[in-house]
Structure formats: C-alpha cells, structure tokens
Amino acid sequence: MRERFTVVDVVIYLLLCIFALSIFFAFEHLLSLSFSPSYVATKGGIHLLPVDPTLDNYIKVLESKYIWMGYKNTLIRTVIGTTLQLLITAMGAYSLSKKFFPHRSIWTFMIVFTMFFSGGLIPTYILVVNLGLTNTYAAMILPGLVSAFNLVIIRNYFMSLPEEVEESCMIDGAGRFRIFFQIVLPLSKPILATVALWLAVGHWNAWFDVLIYITDDKMFTLQIVLRRIIITGTQQMLDLNISSEVLANQVQSSPEGVKAAAIFVATIPILAAYPFIQGFFVKGIMIGSLKG
C-alpha cells in the first residue's frame, strides 16, 4: 500500500531540510575558510568555495606542539575512558538485567534517580581535589565512569536476549563471567557499538572537566587547545617562532583561516570513526530502548 503524506509530514520534512542545509552551509563555509589565504578570509561574508586555495593554514596548525600534545591526551582519554566506561557499565547492566538479582528494582531506582539529581559541581570538584586526581587522566575519566542512561539502555538490551542460551551454557559448566564475556557481549555488539560511539564522542569533545581539573599545559586535551586558539589567539597557542620565513607566510595564513583549520583538525578523526559503527547504531538504540 502506498504511503500518503499529510501536510504535517511535508512541513516536518521541509523544516528538517532547512535545518540540514543550515548545518551544511556552516560546515562548508569553515572548510572553504580553512583553505583560503588571508586576503580572502579577512573580507568577511560567506565562502562556499575556496579562492586561491592554500594549505598554509593547516601547515601552521600542524606545526604547533600543543596540537600534537592535545591529540595525544585526547586519544589516551578517549581510548581508556571509552573502554573502561563500556566495560563497567555493561557489567552493572548485566547484573541488573537478571530477575534473581536481590532487590533489583530498588537498585535500578537508585541509579535512575541520579539522572535527575546529583551532588552538583562544587561537591564533585572538592571530591576530585581531595582525592588528589587533579592533573591526571583519572580526573577526566573516573567522575563519569558510569552513566545511568547508558546503563539502563544496555540493561534493557540484555533483558531482550533469550535466557535459554545462558541456561544451556550453565548446563555445560560455564560460569557467569565466561557467559558474560564469551556469550552475552558478542551477542550485544549493536548496543555496545552504539554506546561506545556515544562515549567516544563525549570524551573527544569534552573540555569542561579539563578546564577545572587540569592546570598543567602538557595535560591539555585537543578541545582545550582548540578553545584557546579560538578565544585567546592563534599565535600564542600555536607556539610558533617568529622568523623571516614565518613572517613571509603571514601573507597566506590568517587568524580566521587558522581557527577554521584547527576546528577541522580536531573534528575529522571522530567523524571518520562514525561510518564504521553506523550499521549497529539504529538497531542497537531501538532494541535497547523498547524493553523495560
């Protein structure tokens, strides 16, 4: 049967198209600006295609030691943080998905309660400082190690798995840990890949916790470096030595072009990871959100 579109459907699709185009044009403007020389970038207006394209803005960004230190810290944070968060959250979700778990409803309520009420910023800051976690990777990872929302989503997915599979494994002598790591986790790739994408994007884009817990320049993540390039100024944060060669290149590069190039340098890696996980995304979130 052919689906009929109503006026409401047309309006919704029209609004979505306008929203998508606004994002596309903003993205394209930044991309064009990052490849444009200084005389183009300083003219103002919207640039959809680069004029006299140059790589000088990207060269200037990639010559900065802070950019590479930021990359290193962000990669360490993203890999370790995503792995630990996914493992701990999945283990907690597996426990709460079992009907025989004592007082399961009470524990679930206590975890969901934290989604609406928390200790607040100041108590969390005092706790992190008193534990001596400042200027460490632990300050970026441990305070948000378990997300109540992600735990509930994974728990619901685990509840949709047939219990007969686990029962047959237990008859064959497998323990709970072996069942969890060799049976449950492989069967849960869609939801795990979905949550892993959320966690990785969250760690990659995080900056506020670094801003309040990290004071050592060598521990700054990429987003803090990018923030300082955009707000504080490009020359200081890019740490370039002023020489005759650099001064000659100033004709080709500009502060606006360098800022645009820095944004793309910080964004492209996490965008490149999305296509590899996209196949699991819709299936994982739909199944994880239905069964309660």
Whole-number percent of the chain with pLDDT over 70: 83
The count of other CB atoms within 10 Å of the CB of residue 213 is 20
Band of the pLDDT at 250, cuts 50, 70, 90?
very low
**Which pLDDT tens digit goes with each residue over 78-98?**
999 999 999 999 999 999 998
Q: Is the pLDDT of residue 216 over 80?
A: yes
Q: Which CATH architecture has domain 56-290?
A: Orthogonal Bundle (1.10)
**Which pLDDT tens digit goes with each residue over 137-185?**
999 999 989 999 999 999 988 988 888 888 888 888 888 888 899 889 9
Q: Which residue bears the tokens 């699709």?
A: 13
Q: Is the pLDDT of residue 252 over 60?
A: no
Q: What mean pLDDT is predicted for residues 231-247? A: 52
Q: Which residue bears the tokens 């030595």?
A: 241
pTM, entire model: 0.80
Whole-number percent of the chain with pLDDT over 90: 34
**Which pLDDT tens digit goes with each residue over 99-142?**
888 988 899 899 889 888 888 889 999 999 999 999 999 999 99
> What is the reported pLDDT for 91?
94
Q: Is the pLDDT of residue 1 over 50?
A: no
> Which candidate, 93, 89, 112, 85, places its Cα nearest to that of 161?
93
Q: What mean pLDDT is predicted for residues 61-85? A: 91
Domain boundaries, the chain: 56-290
Distance CA 1, CA 271 (A): 38
Q: What mean pLDDT is predicted for residues 256-263? A: 84
DSSP notation for 65-123: HHHHHHHHHHHHHHHHHHHHHHHHHHHHHHHHT-TTSTTHHHHHHHHHHTTT----HHH
**Which pLDDT tens digit goes with each residue over 16-35?**
999 999 888 888 888 888 88
